Amino acid sequence: MGGATTEVTSYDQFNDLIKNSSNLVVVDFWASWCGPCMRIAPAYAKLSEEFPNVSFLKVDVDNAEEVSSKCDIKAMPTFQFYKNGEKIEEFKGANEKALREAVQKHQ
């Protein structure tokens, strides 16, 4: 993967992508009505091009409610970071600097 983001539509798909990757997986939980989500989307897409060995997923909380519920998402955007099937970091908010630093730290 890499160089693109993958839209997650089901919990099974989410689980497969998280569990079957030995590389860093970054998940953007977003909503179409969320202004901060829209503002950080271009930066997220750019990171997917800059870090081709990292998997970048997008979860629309309105279209994949089971995923957002099981991941306990309460605010958007929320970014979760997984490695070897385990969540290793999470933060909320459209903070491009924090997003970039977390990707660099865990890649």
Choosing from 31, 37, 47, 71, the catalytic residue is 37
**Catalytic: 71?**
no
Q: Which of 34, 40, 57, 76 is catalytic?
A: 34
Between the alpha carbon of residue 45 and those of residues 12, 33, 57, 70, 71, the distances in Å are: 23, 18, 10, 25, 22
Residue indicated by tokens 């569990």: 19
Residues marked as catalytic: 34, 37
